[in-house]
């Protein structure tokens, strides 16, 4: 790292009130340390026992990359003695721009969206400008803020399980980042666009509204319900996307952020020009080929909706309370008389991996929606676990 860049990073962090110790932690965040690894709760959890038969614990897709994506991987892998034989990275940005109708300079790609979430906290929070999240929600931003020593307020979801944006602003009227996961993980619920727009229009100057749309492709009203128009309109928003869900590419690590160019540049500051965000070309090529495979996207959406409806029907007929309505590839079940930890263990003994525990709701478990066969396997395990 050149002295010039190092000084710029130090000035940025010291200027925002970080101590030398916190600066060390910032430096460790993207360095493959234990801290970085624990930032992705789904990965940490998915590294479970290998003998599991049915994996419905990490909100992954039940199937792999789309066929044109796999063909592109093979071709790119064969040429990967070159850094960028066919401008794979440029092609990815161009394709995202076309599909999303967002200018190319409003897009930045990453090896997965978790790094972008953590970077948004590093770039826009500080010891005096905290993070506001919902409770429960996806934990990466909260984990990053705690690691860095930025204050965190976690505001309970409303009774309909949407984000309480007014309470979020009231919880810290001077925050650096307000995080809205839409649809929310773990509830799958959608917060209406008008609520998010209210937050964007009323938040303090200089802060960011980070809108995590990891699961947006599964929702009924997609693509009309995405907040991407606010990025194009130049608002203080960072829209986070991933290829880990509907595109079935969690292990390939591709994600992107949409926002004004100068907001995106700030997310890269701490790279020190090292291009750490450069993607492997097979992953980039797979993403390009998948983005425009509209037939597969439609087929996966339908399959998910069918399998989710089948699972809702199975569980509600057995008198279980579901939290929702979920628009994503997950459901939350309130067991009422059993803890989620006990149920996780009971299902694991049947070869079914369900999600980790969400401390706010100790009797509620999250399951991901998988293939029809996955869900039938879950039903069989359910019958054994519940009758026991």
Which residues sit at the interface with ligand PLP, rule CB under 6 A? 40, 42, 59, 112-114, 138, 181, 185, 212, 214, 242, 244, 250, 255
Q: What does each C-alpha distance from 233 to 133, 227, 230, 260, 268 come to in angstroms? A: 24, 10, 5, 9, 22
What six digits make up the tokens of 216?
A: 């947006």
Closest alpha carbon to 55 in 363, 388, 387, 350: 350
Q: 226 vs 350, which CB is nearer to ligand PLP? A: 226
Q: 144 vs 385, which CB is nearer to ligand PLP? A: 144
Q: What is the number of alpha carbons within 13 Å of residue 114 lying toward its C-beta?
A: 22
Least distance to ligand PLP from the beta carbon of 45, Å?
9
Least distance to ligand PLP from the beta carbon of 301, Å?
18
Q: 235 vs 253, which CB is nearer to ligand PLP? A: 253
Least distance to ligand PLP from the beta carbon of 7, Å?
31
Residue 238, SS3? Answer: strand
Contact 131, 117 (CB under 8 A): no
Q: What does each C-alpha distance from 33 to 36, 54, 296 come to in angstroms? A: 5, 30, 37
Contact 291, 242 (CB under 8 A): no
Alpha-carbon Rg of the chain, whole angstroms? 21
Least distance to ligand PLP from the beta carbon of 42, Å?
4
Least distance to ligand PLP from the beta carbon of 317, Å?
28
Contact 164, 155 (CB under 8 A): yes
Least distance to ligand PLP from the beta carbon of 185, Å?
4
Q: 227 vs 250, which CB is nearer to ligand PLP? A: 250
Least distance to ligand PLP from the beta carbon of 27, Å?
21
Q: 12 vs 212, which CB is nearer to ligand PLP? A: 212
Contact 269, 8 (CB under 8 A): yes
Q: 125 vs 141, which CB is nearer to ligand PLP? A: 141
Closest alpha carbon to 137 in 162, 112, 116, 114: 162
Distance, in Å, from the CA atom of 219 to the CA atom of 217, rounded to the nearest integer, reads 6
Distance of CA 77 to the CA centre of its chain: 27
Least distance to ligand PLP from the beta carbon of 178, Å?
15
Q: 46 vs 346, which CB is nearer to ligand PLP? A: 46
Contact 241, 83 (CB under 8 A): no
Burial class (CB in 10 A: 0-12, 13-18, 19+), 302: exposed
Q: 164 vs 212, which CB is nearer to ligand PLP? A: 212
Distance, in Å, from the CA atom of 353 to the CA atom of 264, rounded to the nearest integer, reads 37
Q: 16 vs 270, which CB is nearer to ligand PLP? A: 270
Least distance to ligand PLP from the beta carbon of 179, Å?
10
């Amino acid at each position: 790292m050149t002295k010039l860049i190092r000084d710029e990073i130090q000035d940025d962090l010291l200027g925002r009130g970080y101590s030398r110790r916190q600066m060390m932690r910032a430096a460790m965040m993207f360095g493959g340390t234990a801290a970085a690894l624990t930032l992705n709760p789904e990965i940490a959890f998915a590294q479970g026992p290998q003998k599991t038969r049915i994996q419905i614990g990490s909100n992954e897709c039940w199937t792999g990359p789309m066929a044109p994506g796999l063909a592109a991987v093979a071709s790119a892998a064969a040429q990967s003695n070159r850094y960028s034989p066919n401008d794979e990275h440029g092609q990815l940005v161009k394709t995202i721009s076309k599909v999303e109708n967002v200018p190319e300079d409003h897009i930045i790609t990453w090896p997965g969206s978790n790094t972008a979430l953590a970077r948004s906290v590093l770039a826009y929070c500080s010891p005096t400008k905290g993070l506001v999240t919902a409770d429960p929600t996806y934990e990466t931003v909260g984990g990053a803020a705690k690691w860095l020593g930025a204050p965190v307020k976690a505001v309970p979801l409303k009774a309909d399980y949407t984000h309480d944006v007014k309470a979020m602003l009231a919880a810290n009227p001077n925050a650096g980042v307000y995080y809205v996961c839409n649809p929310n993980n773990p509830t799958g619920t959608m917060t209406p666009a008008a609520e998010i727009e209210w937050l964007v229009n009323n938040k303090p100057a200089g802060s960011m509204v980070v809108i995590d749309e990891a699961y947006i492709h599964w929702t009924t009203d997609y693509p009309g319900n995405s907040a991407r128009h606010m990025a194009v309109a130049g608002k203080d928003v960072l829209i986070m996307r991933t290829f880990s869900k509907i595109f079935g590419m969690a292990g390939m690590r591709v994600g992107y952020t949409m926002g004004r160019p100068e907001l995106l540049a700030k997310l890269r500051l701490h790279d020190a020009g090292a291009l750490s965000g450069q993607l492997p070309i097979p992953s980039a090529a797979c993403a390009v080929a998948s983005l425009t495979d509209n037939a597969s996207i439609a087929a996966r959406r339908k399959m998910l909706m069918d399998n989710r409806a089948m699972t809702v029907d199975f569980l509600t007929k057995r008198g279980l309370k579901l939290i929702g309505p979920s628009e994503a590839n997950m459901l939350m079940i309130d067991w009422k008389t059993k803890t989620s930890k006990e149920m996780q263990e009971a299902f694991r003994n049947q070869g079914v991996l369900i999600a980790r525990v969400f401390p706010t709701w100790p009797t509620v478990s999250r399951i991901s929606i998988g293939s029809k066969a996955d869900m039938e396997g879950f039903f069989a395990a359910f019958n054994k676990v519940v009758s026991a």
